[in-house]
Amino acid sequence: MNQRASQAELLGASQARVAQVIDPVDWEHFCAEYWDRKPLYLADGSDRFASLADAATLRRLVESGTPWLYRRLPEMYIDSGFVPHEDLVHEYVDMDGRVARAPRLDRVRQLLLNGATANCFGQEAHFPELMALKLAFAQAFSAEVETSLFYSQKDHPGLAPHYDCGEIFVLQISGRKRWFVSDQRHVNPIVGYGGPVAYDDKAPHATIELEPGDLLYLPRGTFHHACALTEESLHTSVAIKMPSYLDLLQALAGNAADLDAMRDYLPLGGPAAWADARVELVERLRGATALPAYGAAVQRLLGRRIPAR
Ligand SMILES: [Fe+2]
């Protein structure tokens, strides 16, 4: 089998896995009607996500401090308030003179006893089916994907109303959780850009109760918050981090210094003449995108985002 055929097969298998998650909505219909457009709620009520992870194991992991060993620190919330990382992590200098960190397990355990929410990243290391799900989403959407596990407790809200900067698929694994999904949506948010956007609590919102096996898809920028209705609730949040036009522009900028046309002077005449150079700029950008180096930069953008198999 040639490489292109096997890639197509891989993509087909990945899209089929995503299609199972969004069933009965099919892939094409989802992409045309919902993707980056509007939320999707699918009631299922089965144990179809039960093999992804389980609440008891995740709680044990949190109590033992394991999630603090991963690249992205876990987040804990208590009644809509974020617990600062420095309250939960002790930094020290090890025998080799390196700064190391260790979770303050007494605080973590007390927070859990008080009803805290824990949002843990990188836990697919402990849950093979969660890893398989992550890979399928990454392949299907050609995008970087982050899966986090949200452990939350009855009547204790986790995060305050907020939006995310990626497309979010919420897969309810166990327990029940009530979601508030606002009509308020911030346009095309990107991590690290722009100022804070205030939540409008007067905006219309949908109230959705997720049960095991249910799916909720939220386009980026959609304000939401949630609260567990059962003693424990566990869901995985699959976040799709699509490349944007800004990424393309940055890929182009990365090559620009190698291009004679881009190192060329702007015309004499100061800011007015430089502003008039916009037509010329667009022409030169067009020329730059036609060069093989641009194609290679775009490929690197893709490679950075999808884990190797
Ligand atoms: Fe969120």
Task: Tell me the mean pLDDT in the region 192-200.
Answer: 88
Q: How confident is the model at residue 1 (pLDDT cuts 50, 70, 90)?
A: low
What global pTM score does this model have?
0.91
CA distance linking residue 14 with residue 266, whole number of Å: 48
Angle at the Cα of 167 (from 305 to 236), degrees rounded to 5?
90
296 SS3 class = helix
How far is residue 120 CA from its own chain's centroid? Answer: 12
Task: Tell me the mean pLDDT in the region 211-226.
Answer: 97
Task: Tell me the mean pLDDT in the region 213-240.
Answer: 97
Mean pLDDT, the chain, rounded, equals 92
Question: Does residue 202 register a pLDDT over 50?
Answer: yes
* Ligand 1 centroid distance, CA of 146 (Å): 13
Contact 86, 122 (CB under 8 A): no
* Ligand 1 centroid distance, CA of 271 (Å): 43
In the block, residue with structure tokens 């890639």: 7
Those residues with Cβ within 8 angstroms of residue 170's Cβ, 6 or more apart along the chain or in another chain: 179, 210, 215, 216, 217, 218, 235, 236, 237, 238
Task: Tell me the mean pLDDT in the region 93-99.
Answer: 89
* Ligand 1 centroid distance, CA of 7 (Å): 32
Q: Is 189 exposed, middle or buried (0-12, 13-18, 19+ CB in 10 A)?
A: middle
Q: Is 236 exposed, middle or buried (0-12, 13-18, 19+ CB in 10 A)?
A: buried
- CA-to-CA separations, 28 to 31, 170, 214, 285, in angstroms, rounded: 5, 20, 20, 33
* Ligand 1 centroid distance, CA of 251 (Å): 29
* Ligand 1 centroid distance, CA of 178 (Å): 13
- CA-to-CA separations, 1 to 14, 209, 227, 303, in angstroms, rounded: 18, 46, 49, 22
Task: Tell me the mean pLDDT in the region 275-295.
Answer: 92
* Ligand 1 centroid distance, CA of 246 (Å): 23
- Model pLDDT, residue 165: 95
- Model pLDDT, residue 307: 54
DSSP state of 114: T
* Ligand 1 centroid distance, CA of 210 (Å): 15
* Ligand 1 centroid distance, CA of 52 (Å): 19
Task: Tell me the mean pLDDT in the region 159-185.
Answer: 97
Contact 118, 112 (CB under 8 A): yes
120 SS3 class = strand
- Model pLDDT, residue 309: 47
Structural domains for the chain: 3-59+111-241 (2.60.120.650), 245-305 (no CATH)
Task: Tell me the mean pLDDT in the region 171-185.
Answer: 98
* Ligand 1 centroid distance, CA of 245 (Å): 23
Task: Tell me the mean pLDDT in the region 289-299.
Answer: 87
* Ligand 1 centroid distance, CA of 177 (Å): 13
pLDDT per position as a tens digit, 150-171 = 999 999 998 999 999 999 999 9
52-66, 68-82, 237-251, range with greatest mean pLDDT: 52-66
